[in-house]
Chains A and B, each alone.
Chain A
Amino acid sequence: MTQPLHIDAVSAHYGTTKVLEDLSLSVQAGELVSLLGASGCGKTTTLRLIAGFLSPTSGSITLGGRDLTRLPTHKRDIGLVFQNYALFPHLSVLDNVAFGLKQRGIASAERRNRAMAMLERVGLAALADRAPGALSGGQKQRVALARALVIEPPLLMFDEPLSNLDAKLRVDMRVEIRQLQRANGTTSVYVTHDQEEAFSISDRVAIMNAGRLMQFDRPEELYRRPANTFVARFVGFENLIPFKAVARDGDIVTAESAGMRLRLSQSLFGAIPDSFLLATRPDGLTVSIEASAEGLPAQLGLRTYLGRAYQYQCETAAGHLVANGSLTTPLEAGTSVKLVPVPEQCTILAPGGDA
């Protein structure tokens, strides 16, 4: 009962404001895909378009070959889990879970059995007769999950389902959601603004910004090889250093930036253009006090303690950079150092684009 979802060239407007522009995205059968981005990036709009609460101005949405684009929500057969749980306050926990089955005309005895079985799976069978108001946040979200899963929908969608829970419970619940989703093999779309949550739970993540899809890939790829400067900054590549290639020798490209020369292997980075940005996280810049080191000359500024390292704000000819230094030798502000990029922790980006 698992089906692929295809979003094809979908755009959406609120009045005259474009909130989604030409979005194309495919979710494979059984896959969990997260839509990740800051508020206003279009992720919730995308979810509401798939659910049918909004209509696209153009484009189409299909689920397992069924065209959803003009279908009203109640006929789409999609399980939804909301941020604020959205349980029916006037119905018991059991009746909440059985609600979708009732709409499908399933007889009351079977309805009860299936709802109870689902409540057992989320560990809440003992609370079946309670009112939703008497439950804790975590319990409410489990009921909401059971209510969405019991109808065995071909598509399950989550709208920031964990943001109202405390940190510890968030981690437990996301593991639980992932296990249930895997066990059922339900195609899922998961909306969140929390990068760690998205990366930990998803097969693939779609990073969105200002109504556009910035990159859609496996979490490992996004984390190591961001495709553009927006995604790079988003996943923590704080340092973007502009370079120019000055010499090419087979696989090796020699590049220069603000008094630093680097020899970069194209087998490691792929084809290197003449003008590019070298992106690193603070961990990808080694702080060296040896004057002979081949690196970017820098003046250290503010030092902060991260537990596993010291972090330095650095001023260089290439602009403001952030680097992590070893714990054994804390350095004072004003010290002249060299920042040496660690090639394995760097990636190469085309300049400009978006920011």
Chain B
Amino acid sequence: MSDRPHPILVAIAALVYLFLMVPLVIVVGAALSDTTYLTFPPQGLSLRWFENIFAISAFRRTIVTSLQIAFLGTLFALLIGIPAAYALNRFRIELPKWLGTLFVLPILVPEIVFGFALLKSLTVGAGVPIFLALLVGHTLLVLPYVVRVISASLASFDFSIEEAAISLGSAPVKTFFTIVLPNVRAGVIAAFILAFITSLNDVSVSLFLTGPGISTLPIQILAHVEQFFDPTVASVSVLLMFLTVAVMAIVERTLGLTFLAK
């Protein structure tokens, strides 16, 4: 056995990274181009397309909408998902098995079908305003991630710890906040980030639910590409990328990313 990996293995790994990274490098390059059309390699270096994002009001508006939807949707998903995950784990024996599956359903249904179903039921059927429909859609979209990640955290939590606290005189609800929640903190933060990023980058569900005046950033990017072929779309993609990377970097710094893989 040698300590060095086999050359073929190294080559394959390098190719995988190449496939992953090259498109991103091209987008970053294109965003920095001084030309009025998308091109790679960049001709001249300029940040004017980044400035252009903020010059176009549709981008300004949709960035705010996307962040609002992602933040609120994740928040609501946590408010529903944490108690749900707790109940699913705490009463695993008493509860029917399909109940856990129910919370994962939005991942199992193709997103495009899910989006269409929401359009038919919320927007067309119930006449729900666009922002609210988007919020409901995104909450449901990210709920499975929240339930899954927090469930994984709770699976290794020993519920006799909770019983010990209650036996020592701590009321059950108080015990949840002082004993259970601090011990699944990492799971809650992981769930928040995963849900936030999923919501921020979603296209399929938003595609159906956006409407006149209200759109999300990814949908606005699509719309922009249909009309213009300037590097703004590349620079806004870079912005979205960096937003995602920044969130991940904060996690890596504070918690380490390894727990996401659990």
A residues neighboring B (CB under 8 Å) = 51, 53, 72-80, 82-84, 86-90, 99-100, 103-104, 144, 147-148, 151
Contacts and interface: CB of A to CB of B under 8 A. Distances in A.
Contact of B168 (A53, A72, A100): A100
Contact of B160 (A72, A77, A82, A99): A82
B165 A88 contact: yes
Contacts of B168: 74, 99-100, 103, 147-148, 151
Nearest to B159: A86
A73 B151 CA distance: 26
Contact of B165 (A53, A72, A99): A99
Contacts of A77: 169
A86 B169 contact: no
A160 B98 CA distance: 34
Given A90-B182, A90-B183, A73 B166 contact: yes
B183 A86 contact: no
Nearest to A76: B167
B161 A86 contact: yes
Contacts of B167: 51, 73-74, 76, 78-80
A248 B179 CA distance: 70
A75 B170 CA distance: 9
B171 A88 contact: no
14 contacts: A73-B167, A74-B166, A74-B167, A74-B171, A74-B175, A75-B169, A79-B167, A80-B163, A84-B158, A86-B158, A86-B161, A86-B164, A87-B161, A103-B170
Contacts of B127: none
B145 to A, nearest CB: 25
A88 B179 contact: yes
Contacts of A51: 163, 167
B83 interface: no
Contact of B170 (A74, A76, A83, A90): A74
Given A74-B171, A74-B172, A88 B166 contact: no
Contacts of B179: 88
Contacts of A73: 163, 166-167
Given A51-B163, A77-B169, 10 more contacts: A73-B167, A78-B167, A79-B167, A80-B164, A80-B167, A84-B158, A88-B165, A89-B183, A144-B164, A147-B164
A86 B171 contact: no
A103 B161 contact: no
Contacts of B171: 72, 74
A88 B161 contact: yes
Contacts of A53: 163
Interface of B: 158, 160-161, 163-172, 175, 179, 182-183
B92 to A, nearest CB: 14
Nearest to A73: B166
A281 B158 CA distance: 42
A87 B172 CA distance: 17
Nearest to A103: B169
A328 to B, nearest CB: 53
A302 to B, nearest CB: 44
A273 to B, nearest CB: 46
B164 to A, nearest CB: 4
A82 B160 CA distance: 8
Contacts of B169: 74-75, 77, 100, 103-104, 151
B30 to A, nearest CB: 48
A144 B165 CA distance: 11
Contacts of A151: 168-169
Contacts of B158: 84, 86
Contacts of B164: 80, 82, 86-88, 144, 147
Contacts of A104: 169
Most buried by B among A74, A79, A83, A151: A74
A287 B183 CA distance: 63
B62 to A, nearest CB: 41
A110 to B, nearest CB: 16
A84 B170 contact: no
Nearest to B185: A90
B222 to A, nearest CB: 45
A74 B175 CA distance: 10
B163 A86 contact: yes
A87 B160 CA distance: 9
A103 B171 CA distance: 9
Contacts of A78: 167
A17 to B, nearest CB: 13
A66 B237 CA distance: 68
Contacts of A86: 158, 160-161, 163-164
Contacts of B165: 88, 99
Contacts of B172: 72, 74
Contacts of B161: 86-89
A151 B169 CA distance: 10
